[in-house]
Structure 1
């Protein structure tokens, strides 16, 4: 996907979360660890919910925010790729899986923070702040729930 505007970032983010849900389920499906499989299903559900939440930004945000150009900023921030199944994920423990998921979400948070720092007080900044809050909140929920699963 060619990312040139904040609207493209929102669309990419929603698609990323949908793909990440499928990636996690398919990559962990062959795992022998039942706890890891349970966690992967839980994370996939969160990713799908996050994709739905992010997709609403396209409908409620102004064209001023969504049309803001951001190409030059994205050239400095790599975007995580989860487009193909990774068999290595099936060998991960539940803790290792959560560490990988946390790392990927922290990359997204860093990207949104980077973009937010560039826009001052604009409609694009307001929208990026909301997107950042959603990402941080969902990561916190997933981490908390993964910790509760570990306690079982």
Structure 2
């Protein structure tokens, strides 16, 4: 997906979370460990919900901001949705799954943080700050839930 506008960026983020949810659901079915399968299922549901939440940002954002060109995106070189998840999750341990998921979220947060610092239009900066806050909040929530699952 070529990202030219802030609207494209939000759509890309939504697609990324949805793609990860789909991949994790598939991997959960192939996991031999019941505990790891349950973790993958939980995170898949979480990612699906997050994709829907990100889509709401797109619906509620100022159309002018969504159409604003995003010139600094190419410099960050983020990963593509097709690479966000692969068959490794089929055999990953609980800890490996957790590390990979948090690395995924860290990359998105790093991108938003980088773009926030470069945003010159106040509406665009606010939108990026809101998206960053959402990702940070959701990562904390997910970390808490995974921590509880690890204790079981």
Aligned partner of 2:133 in structure 1 is 133
Q: CA deviation at 1:120?
A: 4.5
Aligned partner of 2:66 in structure 1 is 66
CA RMSD of aligned residues (A): 1.5
Aligned partner of 2:149 in structure 1 is 149
Q: CA deviation at 1:87?
A: 2.1
CA distance in 2, matches of 1:120, 1:5: 14
Q: CA deviation at 1:65?
A: 1.6
Q: CA deviation at 1:121?
A: 5.8
Structure 2 counterparts to residues 26-45 of structure 1, below 5 A: 26-45=26-45
Aligned partner of 2:90 in structure 1 is 90
Aligned partner of 2:74 in structure 1 is 75
- What TM-score, normalized to structure 2? 0.92
CA distance in 1, matches of 2:6, 2:27: 30
Query: What is the number of equivalent residue pairs in this alignment?
Result: 151
- What TM-score, normalized to structure 1? 0.92
Q: CA deviation at 1:33?
A: 1.3
Report the structure, 1 or 2, having the larger helix content.
Answer: 2
Out of 45-54 and 117-126, give the one that drifted further.
Answer: 117-126
Q: Which blocks of at least 5 consecutive residues in structure 2 are unaligned?
A: none
Aligned partner of 1:5 in structure 2 is 5
Residue 29 of structure 1: SS of its match in structure 2?
Answer: helix
CA distance in 2, matches of 1:47, 1:55: 12
Residue 76 of structure 2: SS of its match in structure 1?
Answer: coil
CA distance in 2, matches of 1:66, 1:37: 38
